[in-house]
Amino acid sequence: MSQHVLLIEDEPNIAEAIRFILTRDGWTVSHVTDGSAALDRVRSDRPDLVILDHMLPGMSGLEILAALRADPETKALPVMMLTARGRDREMAERAGADCFMSKPFSNAEILAEVRSMMGR
Amino acid sequence: MARKESPLFLARAPYRRRRLRDASRLLPILGIFFLLLPLLWTEESRLSLSAGDVIYFFSVWIFLIGAAAAFAPGLRSGQGPTGDED
Amino acid sequence: MPFKLLVVACLLYVAFLFAVAFIVERRAQAGRLGWLRSPLVYTLSLSIYSTAWTFYGAVGYAARSGLEFLTIYFGPTLVFVGWWWLLRKLVRIGRQYRVTSIADLISSRFGKSNTLGVIVTIIAVVATTPYIALQLQSVVLSFGVFASATPDGQAPLDAGQTAIWVAVGLAFFTILFGTRNLDAREQHHGIVTAIAVEAVVKLVALLAVGIFVVWGIAGGVGDVIARIDAADLSAWQVQPGRWAGLIFLSAAAVITLPRMFQVMVVENDDEGQLARASWAFPLYLMLMSLFIVPIAVVGLDQLPAGSNPDMFVLTLPLAEGQGGLAMLAFLGGFSSATSMVIVEAIALATMISNHVVIPLWLRLRPAAAADDLRSVVLMARRVAIAAVLALGYGYYQVSGGSAALAAIGLIAFLGVAQVLPALLGGLFWRGATRTGAILGLVTGFVVWAFTSFLPSFGPGAALSDAVFTQGLFGLAWLRPQALFGTDTMDPMIHALFWSMTLNVIAFCLGSLLTFPGPVERLQGAAFVNVFEGTVGPERWSKGQVDPEALLTMAQRILGEEAALSLFQTAARDQGKDSFLPDPTPAFLNQLEAQLSGTVGAATAHAMISQLVGRATVTVEDLMAVASESAQIMEYSAKLEAREAELTRTAGALREANEKLMQLSIQKDAFLSQISHELRTPMTSIRAFSEILTEGDLPPEMVVKYGRIIHEEAKRLTRLLDDLLDLSVLENGTVQLSLGLASLQQMLDTALIAARQTRPERSFIIHRDLPSEAIYLKTDADRLTQVFINLISNARKYCDASQPELRIAVRQRAGRVTVDFIDNGKGIPKDSQSLVFEKFARLTDANRAGGAGLGLAICREIMTNLGGSVAYLPGQGGAAFRVTVPLRLEKLAA
């Protein structure tokens, strides 16, 4: 059974690219653009991995991450953070992101990271 | 109430101006006196319409207007916030 | 004399006055009044004291009661020649506290009590209604004289119909010029000048008739003197009590008549005008009276017995075949009546709207902040003017126009004179209280109504016969013309004596026995010591109030432009660079004073209290102020001035400092933002180009991904363009291509171009095309770019379900302002000063393309175009004002 990735990203083109890359590699990808809707989707979809953009409308990536870590059910859920600003790395790691990628990234890089996080 | 400090003695020009104002304040009293005077001397305290009465009242009237015109320049000048009362 | 000619002459004359008023109003708006504010115009406007009662009635009065008519002019003469200090105090207070009427003055002095305002309004309306009826009657009578062309003055003409036409005409003229706009100080330069013109006409007319009578009919001065002495003396005798009493009464009335208060205090521009008026106004009255006796005597000699002496001024020239002179005299009388009615109606309408209608309106709809109070005020005034004239007409109909003119005039005088004790007490006695004033006014009014006003309708009309002969409730000491058994007095003097005595007693006792509230005490001190200027008006303690709410309220009353400029000036004085000053006590006072000028002190105070809460002074505050010695107060005044200066500097410094801090933060944020804005499109481009390089994609996917790469590359270019644009604009190295361009066309272009932003939203656009017909010398492309940005912003961010955008254009003093106002929820106050900064996108909710540079670019463009763009608070939605010079000249550099 293919594993499930939830992508939380508001730039449609970037989301399209990531979805293409991961789907081609055999992952099931679902996508949400709005920060405030993201938490509900995590609870309903129960993904194996979350890819989370830093700047989101409604609720920032860091806030979502904090909320995920505060909930016992999603405490251990692997989260990869994406950001377009250099200085966000520390904040993301402090908030409990397992992995951090800065834009622009190479396709191979992101694929490798996802694979390693899921132990494939 | 608090009053702005004002000098105890005044120079000649402001002094004259103040006395002019005093005079203008007395003018109505003088006017009332002259306008009521005929009541005192007319028989049975009754005024009538004789040419003499008419001329008398208009003379008093013209005198009051003339006096007021003479005092008026003193009223205009020096109208600062303190230029009042005393 | 053909009657039609008369009507035509009247209409021409009114049209002429109309033109005068209109031209002056235009000049006043342009700030070019010049000689129109001279003491001469002021003095002539005071002449509305002499109404048709003087013009026609004085001759009748002289024919019936001899010299007694002079008392009516002696009173004002005495007041003006010597009591300049009293009038000056009134005028100073009127100007300092923006008093709108005598009711407003009394209400404001006694703690801004609207109850008092209402009482004075009622007294004024009741007392002057007969007076207005009197003017209507005299115009009708004079029409009648011409219509019948017989010297007895009885007209076959339908008097009622004439009266209606005259009343309607006057109401129309008054409404047209008295309520054209709401002035901050309730002044009507146009009407005042028209009245000055009428003053000249009536003086010239009366002098001309007099000269004709003395040298044309009689044989010169000697003959007239002989005729006076030969005339029947027995009817012409006067009682000393009436003589003295009427002088007092007319002296009181000249101060308290609503129309006199209006021209003397409210319309006054300069205290210096009073000095000239102190002798010029008595001179005018003297000249008006000069020929009264000769006309009366000669009229009685020449005209058949039973002729109406009230109409001698007209009938004498007519009987001698002098049609032209009679026409002049008629216009003089017409002037006297119309000028009185117009000013009286304006004064009463102001009182009624400020003290009755607006307080009621605010009580009924306190929360209706959106409605425009100005239109309510204007409408209230218009209706009130019509109502006042309708009342006058009603009184004329009921009274049948029969009573001799003089009797009605005196009753009105006595009615308004009831305000005198409260007025003088308020100006000179700090111990006078609100309760005292109410008691005095009500007592005086009731006694006046019972002893003078109601009996004037005649026995059996308003009061029954029984009341006249046996007294109220059968109590003999309550007979209307013999209170307390004083049945030997002349009825007029009886009413004067009792109403004024009881009024003063009630006022003094009431004041002595009650304790004033804090606002009352402050107002009392401020009014009594107005020349010392040490005690300011009421001080608001620092209240917690949102300045934006204050602005919204001020706009309802003062109008958008005036309110904005008031707030902007105040903010600048506080060292702030925005439209919203801090609600300091000083600012609240200033605002209250401005509002008082339009709606009266009591209403203005109530409206601000509503927003600030009852944050006014307490008795303890007052005591603290009072206990300080004079020296400390002066010292502290100096300190205060210095402190104010310091506060202002500190405010400016603090603001500059905050701005610097924010700039530094912003610079960091700017770099980080640029990074983000550049990386986002790069991410897509890199990802898809890698995917395309790997090949083995279906052709439609290749096309799709290629297009994405193309779009994102364009987005990058646009961002770089914007950044470059901004940097060029900021360095001031931009090349402007100046030329003449139509503002309307620019807006058209901008609206079309902006339609591409969120094209799915349909906006309702409100424009006023005629106001946009302006040609600007500017860089049209750049200005259009600003318009596009602002309109696109509205399309993007306006969150109303039915979005609307209003574009308002105004031109003033070489500058043009274009306001863009939408109906969304606007921009929160703390963000208003940030929106023009780079990347200051307020929410991330709508990232429809822009990088948050739009407004920053707008601001730079406007700086380069010699104008500005600013956020306008308090417009009910997001609002931006673009200010641009009408003709931009190329800089020398």
How far apart are alpha carbons C225 and C298 in whole angstroms?
11
- Ramachandran bin of C624, using left for φ above 0, alpha for ψ from -120 to 50, beta for the remaining angles: alpha
Q: Does domain C739-885 have CATH number 3.30.470.20?
A: no
Helix, strand, coil shares of chain A as percentages rounded to 5?
Answer: 45, 20, 35
pLDDT attached to residue C155: 45
Q: How much is the average pLDDT of C330-350?
A: 87
pLDDT attached to residue C193: 86
Q: Which of A10, A87, A105 sits opposite C683 (nearest CB)?
A: A105
| Residue B19 located in a structural domain | yes
Q: How much is the average pLDDT of C767-784?
A: 86
Q: Name the closest residue on chain C to residue B64, using Cα atoms.
A: C81
How far apart are alpha carbons C815 and C812 in whole angstroms?
5
Q: Which of B25, B47, B54 sits opposite C293 (nearest CB)?
A: B54
Strand partners, A102: A83
Q: What is the sign, positive or negative, of the torsion defined by CA atoms of C276, C278, C279, C285?
A: positive
Q: Does domain A4-105 have CATH number 3.40.50.2300?
A: yes
Is pLDDT above 50 for C152?
no
How far apart are alpha carbons C636 and C694 in whole angstroms?
84
Q: Name the closest residue on chain B to residue C272, using Cα atoms.
A: B76
Identify the three-state secondary structure at position C152: coil
A27 touches C698 (CB < 8 A): no
pLDDT attached to residue C159: 65
| Residue B84 located in a structural domain | no
How many Å lie between the alpha carbon of C20 and the closest alpha carbon of chain B? 30
Listed by start position, the domains of chain C span: 3-364+384-418, 419-537, 538-627, 631-731, 739-885
Q: How much is the average pLDDT of A19-39?
A: 86
How far apart are alpha carbons C655 and C389 in whole angstroms?
56
Listed by start position, the domains of chain A span: 4-105
Burial (0-12, 13-18, 19+ Cβ within 10 Å), C690: middle
Confidence class for position C651, pLDDT limits 50, 70, 90: confident
Q: Which of chain C's residues have a Cβ under 8 Å away from the Cβ of A104?
A: 679, 682-683, 685-687
The DSSP element (H or E) to which C350 belongs, if any, is helix C323-352
Q: What are phi and psi of A97, to 5 degrees?
A: -75, 140
What is the CATH topology of the domain spanning C631-731? Helix Hairpins (1.10.287)
- Of C528, C603, C593, which is closest to residue C92 (Cα–Cα)? C528
Selection from B5-9, C277-281, C301-305, C793-797 with the highest mean pLDDT: C277-281
pLDDT attached to residue B76: 60
Confidence class for position C670, pLDDT limits 50, 70, 90: confident
Identify the three-state secondary structure at position C23: helix
Confidence class for position C540, pLDDT limits 50, 70, 90: low
* C221 touching B (Cβ < 8 Å): no
Nearest 10 degrees: Cα torsion C23, C25, C28, C33: 50
Those residues whose C-beta lies under 8 Å from the C-beta of residue C5, and which sit 6 or more positions away, are: none
Half-sphere exposure in the Cβ direction for C319 (13 Å, CA): 22
* A12 touching C (Cβ < 8 Å): no
Total tally of structural domains belonging to chain B: 1
Q: Which domain holds residue B25?
A: 14-41+48-75
Q: Which of chain B's residues have a Cβ under 8 Å away from the Cβ of C70?
A: 57
Is pLDDT above 80 for B41?
no
Is pLDDT above 50 for C848?
no
How far apart are alpha carbons C873 and C835 in whole angstroms?
13
How far apart are alpha carbons C591 and C597 in whole angstroms?
10
Q: When comparing pLDDT for B21 and C809, which is higher?
A: C809
pLDDT attached to residue C752: 85
pLDDT attached to residue C204: 92
The DSSP element (H or E) to which A101 belongs, if any, is strand A99-102
Confidence class for position C444, pLDDT limits 50, 70, 90: very high
* C535 touching B (Cβ < 8 Å): yes
Is pLDDT above 80 for C847?
no
- CA-to-CA dists, residue C263 to C163, C183, C596, angstroms: 26, 15, 18
Q: What are phi and psi of C756, to 5 degrees?
A: -70, -20
* B73 touching C (Cβ < 8 Å): yes
C815 touches C774 (CB < 8 A): no
Identify the three-state secondary structure at position C560: helix
Pairs of residues, one from chain A and one from chain C, whose beta carbons lie less than 8 Å apart: 64
Neighbours of chain A (3+ CB pairs under 8 A): C
Q: How much is the average pLDDT of C121-145?
A: 85
| Residue B25 located in a structural domain | yes
Is pLDDT above 70 for B67?
yes
In Å, how far from its chain's centre is CA C588?
A: 20
Is pLDDT above 70 for C690?
yes
pLDDT attached to residue A56: 76
* C712 touching A (Cβ < 8 Å): yes
A10 touches A33 (CB < 8 A): yes
Bridge-based pairing of strands C764-767 and C775-778 is unpaired
Q: Which of A58, A86, A107 sits opposite C675 (nearest CB)?
A: A86
Q: What are phi and psi of A49, to 5 degrees?
A: -150, 145
Long-range residue pairs from C512-516, CB within 8 A, at least 24 positions apart, any chain = C512/C431, C512/C436, C514/C433, C514/C434, C514/C435, C514/C436, C515/C433, C516/C111, C516/C433, C516/C434
Is pLDDT above 50 for C222?
yes
* B12 touching C (Cβ < 8 Å): no
- Of C530, C514, C351, which is closest to residue C436 (Cα–Cα)? C514
Q: Which of A13, A55, A86 sits opposite C708 (nearest CB)?
A: A13
Which ranges of C55-101 would DSSP assign to H, the alpha helix?
A: 58-65, 71-82, 84-96
Nearest 10 degrees: Cα torsion C404, C408, C414, C417: -130
pLDDT attached to residue C628: 45
* B41 touching C (Cβ < 8 Å): no
The DSSP element (H or E) to which C715 belongs, if any, is helix C699-731
pLDDT attached to residue C442: 92
| Residue B67 located in a structural domain | yes
Q: How crowded is residue B40: how many other Cβ atoms within 10 Å of its Cβ?
A: 9
pLDDT attached to residue B6: 54
pLDDT attached to residue C445: 92
pLDDT attached to residue C472: 67
pLDDT attached to residue B84: 41
- Of A23, A31, A19, which is closest to residue A3 (Cα–Cα)? A23
Confidence class for position C121, pLDDT limits 50, 70, 90: very high
Nearest 10 degrees: Cα torsion C301, C306, C309, C313: -70
Q: Do chains A and C touch (3 or more CB pairs under 8 A)?
A: yes
Spelled out in words, what is the top-level CATH class assigned to the domain C3-364+384-418? mainly alpha
Return the amino acid letter for C735.
Q
Is pLDDT above 50 for C605?
yes
- Ramachandran bin of C112, using left for φ above 0, alpha for ψ from -120 to 50, beta for the remaining angles: left
How far apart are alpha carbons C314 and C400 in whole angstroms?
22
How far apart are alpha carbons C53 and C50 in whole angstroms?
7
How far apart are alpha carbons C566 and C551 in whole angstroms?
9
- pLDDT tens digits, C854-871: 788 888 888 888 888 888
Q: How much is the average pLDDT of A20-42?
A: 86
* C845 touching A (Cβ < 8 Å): yes
- pLDDT tens digits, C265-319: 888 877 778 888 888 899 999 998 888 888 888 888 877 777 778 888 888 888 8
Partner-chain contact B36 C272, CB within 8 Å: no
User: A9, A10, A14: which to substitute to probe chain C, counting the most C Cβ within 10 Å?
Assistant: A14
Mean pLDDT of chain C: 79
Return the amino acid letter for C428.
F
How far apart are alpha carbons C94 and C846 in whole angstroms?
55
pLDDT attached to residue C401: 56
C282 touches C81 (CB < 8 A): yes
Return the amino acid letter for A40.
D
Q: Which of B28, B39, B50 sits opposite C228 (nearest CB)?
A: B50
Is pLDDT above 80 for A44?
yes
